[in-house]
Structure 1
């Protein structure tokens, strides 16, 4: 429940600020995955028959940050509050973008600095890029530990929690939709993969760093009130383990599969399309993320449909499309899955933190552990694609993920214990 003081606060300004930050997180997350194809053709020319495995390490290193840094985000919220944590998270992002710049600069300056791994030759600059991917992923983790509970708890008149998450998700999808063409059109100037140069990375990352610096200074001047009852107060201790809430624990598992299958398609569909000799692989990624944008726009208006019902319908639909894509060996069918993936995050998060009260901010950090699915499943899929010499059968990973989320919607999300 909101206190009388909180009812008098106008949360529209803070709400819009958080929504904008969600856009930045989505943009950088997808931009990072879209570097797989170009870097596969540049950094990884001498890797041999493990190109898919090494390329998916870019996504792996990003999402590896989620289980490691989710707890940091929760502790920062309890120590510095929501606004203080956002500012610190953005400074971490600037450091990560600096490492992206450094990877390009180092490779251009020292073109012969390589590491031998078996028969594979890998530039040291590639490992610097992986470190940058982890650090920016850590920033995205910390920001989302703030964003999710804040959107859930800040009461904006005429909305419910899942709607506010859908609106935030819509902004996130705007970022993810723009990112593929930012990478191919702005960073690499629309060049064919074989004509891309590593030196083209430097200026765009410097521009992104400057943009985030401006965002930090603007955020420092904005009012972003804390929300009572969603975090542990100073000197207070929690009586229970946050893992004692079964619906949260299974929710973490559900988000593992959700983020995993979302990223499998978003990051690897272009590699699948290249294998199938489809024109404009970047268009497929854009259509997929664009479908998520449309779905979230629709989801933000569904004020009377319960989260559980939304999750059942979307997981069934996405599962059918994934199965058809495998049967017909057609990547175009996977682009339509984005429409149904669009509101799964909000539905799962809303169900997972229901009735958690002061455990909410801690639960949000724990929730981020599940996001490691975005690291593990796409990497596993890349390994399968190399072993099977085809991406086609690797999409069974996506189908299994949809089935687990359906189980969570029907059974696992039932609340058996509350924080009261």
Structure 2
């Protein structure tokens, strides 16, 4: 009897330890997602021409290449999970991440010592810049695979008396902490308080090398962890579906709403720096602090949202859309990027609200709808890129490009008012 109790206690402790490791992985995904975004201005200042017809569009390709990896990764990530299990799939993802960081290093070395340039729309672009984009895509694959592992593991792994939703909320909060501190890491650790607009290529080399060493250490530690036995698949029964998932209006419109939401959320977090630097003066000096504050408010909003059990998803989404539109309009009117940071509070509740409304009362179609909705993540690459193209069209003036983000918020508002309704 005593031996059985000891075994149960050991299993419980092992689950808690592995759960802590999963939270560290969530943190890592959040950190690298935002670090990649914060590299936009250093990449522009070190590799791209100061004046060019497509400079803003080019630099937002860094974020686009990251999110482009998500739709390409989901299927083989699930397949790896089936073949290799949680630990080995996580190790593969970490190795891919390290490879992406090494491609970053290769891109910088290529730019410094093999200064080959391509001419696109009368703009000279170093070949190293495109290599850097490849590195971003590779790390994006790693992040996508890790998220597949983390989401499924937290769904099926019982830890204490926690529910699957509570574990997902904890993981999401830790992910947001990583996103909130990442801009400060870029400003104060990676580039040693050098203004992002003054970074040169060689200043990437040593910090990225240190990050590679840290990630190698993390990979070695993860390789030594033994995972407890878990169910490999939570949906073992296949129920024949009578009609197409696309026949549900709330799913079709919800896919657009989720894609647009991810796009506008990332656009503010990634391009607030670009906006602030374009204004110069004190705004440029505090650009990374603005990004950190935006992601910090998003974290606070998620923590507050976890207590709003009696407020419907529809009402939360409606409030979020109206609040975001209000502060975006204030930003345009006063031409002040600090106002954008407050939008993090309103963006924080949009993902769960849209997801819940889109999958409401779908019965056996719920799992299929969940997979379809994840396609919307690609919006995180498309909308910031469109905003960068708009900035180039407007001769580098970012102020009016926030009108594009307002349009995105208006669609989310439409979904909160009508698009979610079951018809």
Deviation at residue 413 of structure 1 after TM alignment: 4.5
Is 1:73 paired with 2:77? yes
SS in 1 for 2:376: helix
Instruction: Please tell me whether the aligned partners of residues 149 and 364 of structure 1 are also in contact (alpha carbons under 8 angstroms).
Output: no
The change in CA–CA distance for 1:325 and 1:86 in structure 2 (over 3 A counts) is same
Instruction: Please tell me whether the aligned partners of residues 242 and 359 of structure 1 are also in contact (alpha carbons under 8 angstroms).
Output: no
Is 1:337 paired with 2:340? no
Comparing 302-311 with 289-298, greater Cα deviation is found at 302-311
Instruction: Give the match for residue 205 of structure 2.
Output: 202
Instruction: Give the match for residue 372 of structure 1.
Output: 378
- Counterpart CA distance in 2 for 1:357 and 1:155 is 24
- 1:229-268 to 2 correspondences below 5 Å: 230-231=234-235, 233=236, 239-240=240-241, 243-244=245-246, 246=248, 247-268=250-271
Instruction: Please tell me whether the aligned partners of residues 73 and 365 of structure 1 are also in contact (alpha carbons under 8 angstroms).
Output: no
Comparing 355-364 with 117-126, greater Cα deviation is found at 355-364
What are the Cα deviations for residues 262-313 of structure 1, in whole angstroms up to 9, with x where unaligned? Answer: 1111111111112223241122111111111222232344455444443332
Instruction: Please tell me whether the aligned partners of residues 166 and 343 of structure 1 are also in contact (alpha carbons under 8 angstroms).
Output: no
- Counterpart CA distance in 1 for 2:365 and 2:229 is 19
- Counterpart CA distance in 1 for 2:148 and 2:187 is 30
Q: Structure 1 residue aligned with 2:406, among 399, 407, 410?
A: 399
- Counterpart CA distance in 2 for 1:83 and 1:415 is 41
Number of equivalences: 405
- 1:35-50 to 2 correspondences below 5 Å: 35-45=39-49, 48-50=52-54
- Counterpart CA distance in 1 for 2:330 and 2:271 is 17
Instruction: Please tell me whether the aligned partners of residues 145 and 365 of structure 1 are also in contact (alpha carbons under 8 angstroms).
Output: no
- Counterpart CA distance in 1 for 2:166 and 2:310 is 10
Instruction: Give the match for residue 30 of structure 1.
Output: 34
The change in CA–CA distance for 1:253 and 1:298 in structure 2 (over 3 A counts) is same
Instruction: Give the match for residue 8 of structure 2.
Output: none
- Counterpart CA distance in 2 for 1:289 and 1:414 is 31
Instruction: Please tell me whether the aligned partners of residues 287 and 335 of structure 1 are also in contact (alpha carbons under 8 angstroms).
Output: yes
Q: Structure 2 residue aligned with 1:167, among 166, 170, 191?
A: 170
Deviation at residue 154 of structure 1 after TM alignment: 4.5
Deviation at residue 356 of structure 1 after TM alignment: 7.3
Instruction: Give the match for residue 4 of structure 1.
Output: none
Deviation at residue 48 of structure 1 after TM alignment: 1.7
Deviation at residue 414 of structure 1 after TM alignment: 5.7
- 1:99-118 to 2 correspondences below 5 Å: 99-110=103-114, 112-118=115-121
What are the Cα deviations for residues 235-276 of structure 1, in whole angstroms up to 9, with x where unaligned? Answer: x76634884573554443222111100111111111111222
What are the Cα deviations for residues 163-219 of structure 1, in whole angstroms up to 9, with x where unaligned? Answer: 443322221121112211222222221113454221121222222223333333333
Instruction: Please tell me whether the aligned partners of residues 261 and 398 of structure 1 are also in contact (alpha carbons under 8 angstroms).
Output: yes
SS in 2 for 1:42: helix
SS in 2 for 1:223: coil
Deviation at residue 361 of structure 1 after TM alignment: 7.1
Is 1:325 paired with 2:331? yes
Q: Which has the larger radius of gyration?
A: 2
Comparing 131-140 with 382-391, greater Cα deviation is found at 382-391
Instruction: Please tell me whether the aligned partners of residues 73 and 141 of structure 2 are also in contact (alpha carbons under 8 angstroms).
Output: yes
- Counterpart CA distance in 1 for 2:363 and 2:217 is 34
Comparing 158-167 with 313-322, greater Cα deviation is found at 158-167
- Counterpart CA distance in 2 for 1:266 and 1:350 is 24
What are the Cα deviations for residues 67-112 of structure 1, in whole angstroms up to 9, with x where unaligned? Answer: 22222223333443444433322222121111111111222232x2
Q: Which runs of 5+ in 2 are unaligned?
A: 1-10
Q: Structure 1 residue aligned with 2:291, among 281, 285, 289?
A: 285
CA RMSD for the aligned pairs? Answer: 3.1
- Counterpart CA distance in 1 for 2:84 and 2:314 is 34
SS in 1 for 2:192: coil
- Counterpart CA distance in 2 for 1:85 and 1:415 is 39
SS in 1 for 2:240: coil
Instruction: Give the match for residue 4 of structure 2.
Output: none
Q: Which runs of 5+ in 1 are unaligned?
A: 1-8
- 1:144-223 to 2 correspondences below 5 Å: 144-152=147-155, 154=157, 162-220=165-223, 221-223=225-227
What are the Cα deviations for residues 31-83 of structure 1, in whole angstroms up to 9, with x where unaligned? Answer: 00111111111100266232111111111111111122222223333443444
Deviation at residue 362 of structure 1 after TM alignment: 6.5
Please give the TM-score of this superposition, normalised by the length of structure 1.
Answer: 0.85
